[in-house]
Every structure is written in C-alpha cells, then in structure tokens.
C-alpha cells in the first residue's frame, strides 16, 4: 500500500485520527502548560506536558488526557476542555505526546507485545512514569488517577485500564477499541481486521484478554465510560458494543443494561451497575456523530464520572443551547489575517486530511468559512469538527457550534476523508471569510 504525506500552505500541522470536538481551551488563571523532560523510565520515548491549576487541594486528582493519531499533547490541551475543567475543579492534567509511527502518524502503542502486558515496556510504562512524576512533584493523589483520550488516545485509555488496573481508578474512552483488538502493528488502521468492520468476539474472549494482561491480579477494576458516534466510519461504531462486552464480562455483569436514558438530545446512555448499584460500565451512543468526539460538554461528563466534579453525572440539556450556524457567516469588515496548514495522509485512492486555521489578526474571528478549490478530482466523503460541502471542485468548510470563535494567535482544526484518482495534489490557496490566507 502506497502512502505519501503532503504538507502545504503553512507550517506543518498534525494529522488527527480524531481531534475530538475542537474547543479553544483558555484557562483563566496564570497556570500554563509545561513540558517535563525527565519524568522517569520512558521506553516509549514519549514527550510529557503537564497542566497544574493554581488553585488545587493538597493532594489533587490526576487525569491523563491522550490525543488522537498524529496529534500531540499540546494540541489536545488546546482542542479539548480538560484544562478549563482543571481550573474549575482543581485536578492535574497530563498531556502525553506519542512518538511511535503507525498508519495515521504518531499513535499510542496498543499493538505491540511489550505494550500488552504489565511492565512489558513501550508507551504504557512511560505513561505510568508520568503519573508517578505528578504524584512526587505535586502530591497527586494515587487513589484518584484517571485516563481519557480520543481515538488513538481512547484506545490507549482502555489499554491502560487493562494493563495497570491498580494505577487507574476509572477511564473515559472516546472512539476507542477494546483491549487487544490489534494483533500487531500491521493490524493498525487504516488496514487490519480490528477497524475494518469484521471484528466480533464473544464477551468471554474479550474478558479473558483483559485478565491475561495482568495474570494473578485480584484487586478492583477501574470503572469504564465509553463514547462513540453512530456515524463513525474511521473507527466503526460497532466496536462500542465489543467494548461493552469486554468490560461487562470483566465485571461479571449482564449484557443487558440496568438502565437506559437520553440525558441530552442524541445522547443515548446505557448503564451497567453491579449488585450494590455502582455503575461500573457506562456507554454513550451519540446519534449522527462521526469521528468527532469529545464535543462540547462531554469532558465535563467524563470528569463527573471520575468523581472529580461531584457525584455521578446527570448531564442535562443546556438552558440556552448555542445554535448551530445555518448559513455562511458574514465576513468581517476588514480582511482577516490568517494562516492555514493542510496535511494529508494518502493511500491508493483515498486520503484523510487535517486542516488547521490560525488567526493571526488582532481581533477574534466569530464564525468562519474556509474555502478552497481542488486542482484534481478529489471528492470529500466525510468530515469532523466542521461542516464540509462540495460543488464540483469548489469546497467550503464551515465551523460547528463549539469552534466558531478563534481568538487572536489561536488555532482550530478540522478534518475530512476523501477519495481521488490520479494525483492527489493539495490546494494552493485558501480563503477565510473571503480573505486570502497565508
């Protein structure tokens, strides 16, 4: 399979298997994202960034928040709500950056033999070293350590709950896959059996995979929250059911949920509680969503599930929902200063692309439409974090409700999947609200 990577129209960006819902996180305090270079044993060769809020208890909780393929810790910090929630609730956030190349760029290792057993090496050991650093340096509470992530990070979330059940107390996996879904590196997306729609094992087989990763472990297992969009084509929606089967089997629970509800429009929730009434597994099916999670409000529900923001979550409809734009925003009175990064990952007759838009002006952009013209016969087939329409070779990408505002010197990203034949040549010009971008 032939793969090429093209970077045009600006500095190199990142290809996200999923960026999750892009929300420009602007912590209100003086706290800042900081890189840590010597955090301990690091067989995965990973980078570590940490966000420590100014206001926190003596022994704060710790959340490990992991990006999608091709992303980075700082990128996930900027594109998710976890840092602003840390300011509000006083917990520490670790943002790791994966360094191992896979089908969509640098991804967290959930495929190697070393990564699939406790203490085996690779990324899991590096991640635990980061947790240990946060505990030593900032008094992080070892009884309140949690994992979350989007796409590759969601996969690693379920992976860490398996390999280190005594370290993590709960996890929230956005668009992930069950532990041991990937047989090896060759099985990782875009090819392979796990994500090609044919994966189907019994709950017992899935549960056995978890138990075999740490033989002899008899302690408590971390609670699991699972999120998936019903229209996800990159990581098929059916894998949500496989994850449910895995974790309910681990907990010895029935496949039938103890309760179901719709806490928000298009959020279908299933809960699986034990005999004491404790919800051990919670699954959200997001109707109509593609490979675009977490979107606005979902991080807050995850933090509540962890117990870092009060009791068990009961996410209700916002009293004043932000309307989704239905038409192209009115261009600003003066030209918009902007920069666009376009990075494509191409194979055979298909490709995925991440586009990053940076506001280089001195005023905020409130509502945006990015337009370009294909030089070839490319055809968009799906998108996330933007509404993308195409007429002939003219393409328009319009913001969704949670990333409509881009403040000065900040960026937002979206992605799409497309087909082509012949040569996949990138666009040479982009316009943002009618103004040409650099």
Catalytic center residues? 151
Other residues' Cβ atoms within 10 Å of the Cβ of residue 54 = 12
Place of tokens 């979206």: 414
> Which of 223, 240, 224 shows the shortest CA–CA distance to 232?
240
**Residue 232: exposure state from Cβ atoms within 10 A (0-12, 13-18, ≥19):** buried
| Residue 333 neighbours by CB under 8 Å, 6+ apart | none
Task: Give the integer Cα–Cα distance in Å for 169 and 166.
Answer: 7
75 and 17 in contact (C-beta within 8 Å)?
A: no
Its sign, for the CA torsion 12, 14, 15, 21, is negative
190 and 103 in contact (C-beta within 8 Å)?
A: yes
- Binning the chain into helix, strand and coil, the percentages to the nearest 5 are 20, 30, 50
């Amino acid at each position: 399979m032939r793969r090429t990577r093209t970077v045009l129209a600006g500095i190199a960006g990142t290809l996200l298997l999923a960026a999750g819902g892009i929300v420009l996180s602007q912590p209100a305090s003086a706290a800042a994202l900081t890189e840590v270079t010597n955090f301990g044993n690091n067989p995965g060769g990973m980078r570590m960034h940490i966000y420590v809020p100014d206001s926190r208890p003596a022994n704060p909780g710790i959340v490990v928040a992991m990006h999608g393929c091709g992303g980075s810790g700082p990128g996930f910090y900027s594109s998710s709500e976890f840092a602003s929630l840390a300011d509000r609730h006083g917990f520490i956030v670790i943002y790791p950056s994966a360094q191992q190349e896979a089908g969509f760029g640098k991804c967290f290792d959930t495929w190697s033999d070393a990564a699939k057993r406790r203490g085996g090496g690779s990324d899991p050991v590096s991640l635990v070293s980061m947790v240990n650093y946060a505990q030593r340096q900032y008094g992080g509470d070892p009884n309140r350590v949690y994992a979350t992530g989007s796409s590759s990070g969601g996969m690693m979330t379920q992976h860490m709950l398996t390999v280190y059940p005594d370290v993590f107390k709960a996890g929230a996996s956005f668009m992930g896959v069950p532990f041991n879904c990937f047989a090896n590196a060759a099985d990782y997306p875009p090819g392979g059996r796990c994500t090609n729609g044919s994966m189907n094992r019994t709950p017992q087989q899935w549960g056995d995979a978890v138990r075999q990763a740490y033989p002899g472990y008899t302690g408590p297992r971390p609670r699991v929250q699972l999120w998936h969009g019903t229209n996800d084509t990159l990581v098929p929606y059916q894998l949500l059911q496989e994850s449910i089967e895995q974790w309910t089997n681990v907990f010895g629970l029935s496949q039938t949920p103890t309760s179901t509800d719709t806490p928000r429009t298009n959020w279908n929730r299933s809960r699986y509680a034990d005999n004491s009434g404790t919800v051990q597994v919670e699954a959200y099916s997001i109707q109509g969503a593609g490979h675009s999670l977490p979107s606005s409000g979902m991080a807050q529900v995850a933090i509540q599930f962890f117990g870092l923001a009060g009791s068990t979550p009961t996410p209700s409809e916002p009293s004043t929902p932000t309307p989704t734009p239905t038409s192209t925003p009115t261009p600003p009175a003066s030209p918009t200063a902007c920069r666009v990064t376009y990075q494509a990952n191409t194979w055979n007759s298909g490709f995925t692309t991440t586009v990053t838009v940076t506001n280089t002006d001195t005023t905020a952009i409130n509502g945006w439409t990015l337009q370009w013209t294909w030089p070839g016969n490319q055809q968009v087939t799906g998108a996330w974090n933007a509404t993308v329409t195409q007429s002939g070779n003219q393409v328009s990408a319009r913001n969704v409700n949670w990333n409509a505002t881009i403040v000065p010197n900040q960026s937002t990203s979206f992605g799409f999947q497309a087909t082509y034949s012949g040569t996949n040549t990138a666009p040479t010009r982009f316009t943002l609200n009618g103004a040409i971008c650099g």
